[in-house]
Structure 1
Amino acid sequence: MMPRLVTVRHHRPDGRRLRLYVPVLPVLLVLSPLLLLTVLAGLVACLATRVSPVGALCGTGQLLWALPGTRFAIEQGRTAVLVSVR
């Protein structure tokens, strides 16, 4: 299942909290021209390093489909960032 929502929580050193909800599909639609350039650059990189482009694309797809349910937490001092993919 493709990720639908990314939640970013940021705890600032002064104690305030910031929570951002980022919907994945609208962001992909807005960034689709850059996504096309990224795919073309990846294809060139695969051909230059003699890696199968189909295998690289399958691996990337499997990685993206495994993201829902993933949580990244980073803490340094009094600042904390939590990224949750749903």
Structure 2
Amino acid sequence: MIPQLVTVRHRRPDGRWRRLYVPVLPVVLVLSPLLLLVVLGVLVACLAFRISLLGALRGTGHLLWALPGARFEIEDGRTAVLVSVR
């Protein structure tokens, strides 16, 4: 299943958290014209570096399949960012 919602939490320097919810499907629909350029770029890169296009697509599919439930936490000093994929 592809991710449905990405939650980004950012701790401000004053210690309070700011939460941002990003729905994946509307963002993908809005950015879909750029997606065509990205696909063409990946195709050219696969041909230039002699990488199997099917292998690259399979790897990308595995990565997207594994994303739901992932959490990424980055903390540096008083700044912290938490990204949760549902």
- TM-score class, shorter-chain normalisation, is over 0.9
Deviations 1:8-56, CA, capped at 9 Å, x for gaps: 0001111222100000000000000111100110000001111111110
Q: Give the equivalent residue in structure 2 for 1:83.
A: 83
Partner amino acid, structure 2, of 1:85: V
Q: Which amino acid aligns with 2:47?
A: L
Opposite residue 56 of structure 1, the aligned amino acid is A
Instruction: Give aligned pairs, total.
Output: 86
* C-alpha deviation, 1:58, in angstroms: 1.0
Asked if 1:31 corresponds to 2:56, the answer is: no
- How far apart in 1 are the matches of 2:18 and 2:49? 42
Is 1:47 the counterpart of 2:47 in the alignment? Answer: yes
CA distance in 1, matches of 2:21, 2:40: 29
TM value normalised by structure 2: 0.96
What is the aligned-residue identity percentage? 79
Paired residue secondary structure (2:69): coil
Identify unmatched segments of 5+ residues in structure 2: none
Corresponding residue of 1:21? 21
